[in-house]
A and B are shown apart, each in its own frame.
Chain A
Amino acid sequence: NAGVTQTPKFRILKIGQSMTLQCTQDMNHNYMYWYRQDPGMGLKLIYYSVGAGITDKGEVPNGYNVSRSTTEDFPLRLELAAPSQTSVYFCASALGGPQETQYFGPGTRLLVL
């Protein structure tokens, strides 16, 4: 099993550009999450999904969108990149709810200039 994979590993965007961060898991997990990690600030939840076709907002959803058309994939979309979105983005998956162990991908480092 590859676990949780994320692409790209690193990306530089100009202000106003858009991009999609890809996340795929091969563990048949129902729950998937997107977090951002800012220096010294821990992780903040952006969006999560409890199954295919179901998504919901987390703590910091503004400026982002998600979709969950399959169990495996949970892409995160940035429509109009802003410097405040410079961060490291982690995707995670879990078999059940947040009491279950979450498995994290290696992260995508995004720089918006």
Chain B
Amino acid sequence: DAMVIQNPRYQVTQFGKPVTLSCSQTLNHNVMYWYQQKSSQAPKLLFHYYDKDFNNEADTPDNFQSRRPNTSFCFLDIRSPGLGDAAMYLCATSREVLSNEKLFFGSGTQLSVL
């Protein structure tokens, strides 16, 4: 049974048109992460939530925002997508932020920008 669920599986948007990607989890984990992964590259952490506390990575563009209305759901908002934002977006969770914690990944949302 899927524990970290990302919707939709594929998303197509237009240049400059806001888009929201969704992630939900059934693990009741404290931490939720969003990564951007471009083709043949390592996942790049954009930000994470520890409970309601938002933690942005220093090099994450302002164009990327996130919301976590409750423990189970976390959203990635791209305010004005550019062609360079086309990528796979991965959501992950962990029970705590400790370095030995296991990360649980969703299957990702593949974003195309036309």
A binds B: no
Please give the residue numbers on chain B whose beta carbons come within 8 Å of chain A beta carbons, in ascending order: none
Residues of A within 8 A of B (CB): none
